[in-house]
Amino acid sequence: MELSKLTKCLSMVILVCFSFSFMEASHVVYHTQLTSSPLSKGAYRTGYHFQPPMNWINDPNGPMYYKGIYHLFYQYNPEGAQWGNIVWAHSISLDLINWVPLQPAIYRSKPFDINGCWSGSATILPGNKPAILYTGIDPDNRQVQNLAIPKNLSDPFLREWLKPDYNPVINPGPGINATAFRDPTTAWMGSDGHWRVLLGSRKPGTLRGEAVLYRSRDFVKWVKAKHPLHSLRDTGMWECPDFFPVAVNGMKGLDTSENREGVKHVLKVSLDLTRSDHYTIGTYDAGKDRFVAENSSDDDSTGLRYDYGNFYASKTFFDPVERRRILWGWSNESDTPQDDTAKGWSGIQTIPRSIWLDVNGRQLVQWPIKELDALRGKGIHLYNTVVKSRSHDEIKGISSAQADVEISFDVPSLEKAEPFDPTWTDPQVLCGLKGAYVNGGVGPFGLLVLASADMEEKTAVFIRIFKASNKHVVLMCHDSSKSSARPELWKQSFGGFVDVDVEKGKKISLRSLIDNSVVESFGAGGKTCITSRVYPVNAIGAGAHLFAFNNGEQDVRIENLTAWEMKKPLMNGL
Q: By the criterion CB under 6 A, which residues form the site for ligand DQQ?
A: 58-59, 75, 86, 118-119, 135, 182-183, 239-240, 313
Least Å distance, CB 181 to ligand DQQ, is 10
Least Å distance, CB 112 to ligand DQQ, is 15
Nearer of residues 56 and 161 to ligand DQQ, judged by Cβ: 56
Name all contacts of 28-37 with Cβ < 8 Å and 24+ positions apart.
28/54, 28/55, 28/80, 28/344, 30/54, 30/81, 30/341, 30/342, 30/343, 30/344, 31/342, 31/344, 33/342, 34/342, 37/537
Nearer of residues 135 and 346 to ligand DQQ, judged by Cβ: 135
- Give the single-character DSSP code of 288: T
Least Å distance, CB 468 to ligand DQQ, is 36
Which of 426, 342, 328, 311 has the alpha carbon at shortest distance from 99? 328
Least Å distance, CB 144 to ligand DQQ, is 12
> Which string of DSSP letters, residue by residue, matches 347-371?
-EEPPPEEEEE-TTSSSEEEEE-GG
**CA distances, 127 to each of 146, 215, 408, 409 (Å):** 21, 20, 47, 50
Nearer of residues 224 and 315 to ligand DQQ, judged by Cβ: 315
Which of 267, 182, 564 has the alpha carbon at shortest distance from 397? 564
Least Å distance, CB 275 to ligand DQQ, is 8
Which of 64, 275, 70, 86 has the alpha carbon at shortest distance from 186? 64
Nearer of residues 349 and 400 to ligand DQQ, judged by Cβ: 349
Residue in 59, 277, 479, 555 annotated catalytic: 59
- Beta carbons of 212 and 196 less than 8 angstroms apart: no
Nearer of residues 236 and 443 to ligand DQQ, judged by Cβ: 236
Q: How far apart are CA 29 and CA 80, in angstroms?
A: 10
Q: Is 59 a catalytic residue?
A: yes
Which of 89, 24, 17, 13 has the alpha carbon at shortest distance from 51? 89
Least Å distance, CB 474 to ligand DQQ, is 31
Q: What angle do CA 23, 117, 518 make, to 5 degrees?
A: 65
> Which string of DSSP letters, residue by residue, matches 450-515?
EE-TTSSS-EEEEEEEEE-SSSEEEEEEEE-TTS-S-TTS----EEEEE---HHHH-EEEEEEEEE
Q: How far apart are CA 449 and CA 530, in angstroms?
A: 14
Nearer of residues 57 and 403 to ligand DQQ, judged by Cβ: 57
Nearer of residues 59 and 298 to ligand DQQ, judged by Cβ: 59
Least Å distance, CB 565 to ligand DQQ, is 33
Contacts of 119 (CB under 8 A, 6+ apart): 59, 61, 75, 134, 135, 182, 183, 239, 240, 313
- Beta carbons of 210 and 202 less than 8 angstroms apart: yes
Q: What angle do CA 520, 521, 523 make, to 5 degrees?
A: 160
Beta-sheet strands, E only, within 222-275: 222-224, 230-232, 238-247, 263-271
Residues forming beta bridges with residue 56, ordered by sequence position: 77, 346
Least Å distance, CB 236 to ligand DQQ, is 12
Least Å distance, CB 209 to ligand DQQ, is 12
How far is Cα of residue 251 from the mean position of the Cα atoms in its chain? 19
Least Å distance, CB 45 to ligand DQQ, is 22
Residue nearest to ligand DQQ (CB): 118
Nearer of residues 272 and 404 to ligand DQQ, judged by Cβ: 272
Residues forming beta bridges with residue 197, ordered by sequence position: 214
- Beta carbons of 280 and 299 less than 8 angstroms apart: yes
Residues forming beta bridges with residue 316, ordered by sequence position: 327
Beta-sheet strands, E only, within 158-235: 161-162, 181-182, 188-189, 195-202, 209-216, 222-224, 230-232
Nearer of residues 75 and 509 to ligand DQQ, judged by Cβ: 75
Q: How far apart are CA 421 and CA 469, in angstroms?
A: 9
Least Å distance, CB 121 to ligand DQQ, is 11
> Which string of DSSP letters, residue by residue, matches 428-439?
HHHHHHT-TTS-
Amino acid type, 250:
G
Q: How far apart are CA 518 and CA 501, in angstroms?
A: 29
Nearer of residues 313 and 411 to ligand DQQ, judged by Cβ: 313
Q: Could you list the active site residues?
A: 59
